[in-house]
Amino acid sequence: MNNPLLKVSHLTVMLDNGKVLLNDISFAIEHNQCLGIVGESGSGKSLTSKAIIGLLEPYFSIKGQILFMPKQPQLNLPEQGDLLKQSPETLRRIRGKEIAMILQHPMNSFDPLYRIGDQIIETLLAHQTITKKQAVVKALDMITEVGLSNPKQIFNKYPHQLSGGMLQRIMIGIAIMLEPELIIADEPTTALDSISQYHILKMLAKIKQQSKTTMIFISHDLGVIHHIADHILVMHQGTIVEQGSRDQIFHHANSEYTHHLINARLQLLTKFNAIIHPNSQKSTMESC
Higher-scoring residue by pLDDT: 75, 174:
174
Q: Do 31 and 46 contact (CB within 8 A), yes or no? A: no
Does residue 134 sit within a domain?
no
Domain region containing 65: 6-113+158-287
Phi (first) and psi of residue 139, to 5 degrees: -65, -45
Q: What is the mean pLDDT of residues 66-79?
A: 71
Higher-scoring residue by pLDDT: 102, 133:
133
Does residue 62 sit within a domain?
yes
Which of 99, 103, 104, 106 lies closest to 127, judged by CA? Answer: 99
Angle at 198 between CA 192 and CA 201, to 5 degrees: 95
Which of 34, 56, 286, 46 lies closest to 190, judged by CA? Answer: 46
Does residue 151 sit within a domain?
no
Q: What is the mean pLDDT of residues 87-93?
A: 88
Does residue 121 sit within a domain?
no
Q: How confident is the model at residue 122 (pLDDT cuts 50, 70, 90)?
A: very high
Does 283 have pLDDT greater than 50? no
User: What's 75's domain CATH number?
Assistant: 3.40.50.300
Does residue 275 sit within a domain?
yes
Q: What is the mean pLDDT of residues 187-191?
A: 80
In this prediction, residue 11 carries a pLDDT of: 97
Lowest mean pLDDT among 25-29, 55-59, 74-78: 74-78
Query: How many domains does the chain divide into?
Result: 1
Does residue 131 sit within a domain?
no
User: In sequence order, which residues have a C-beta less than 8 Å from that of residue 194 and are 6 or more positions away?
Assistant: none
Does residue 244 sit within a domain?
yes
In tens, the pLDDT along 198-233 reads 888 888 888 877 777 899 999 988 888 888 899 999
Mean pLDDT of the chain: 87
Does residue 122 sit within a domain?
no
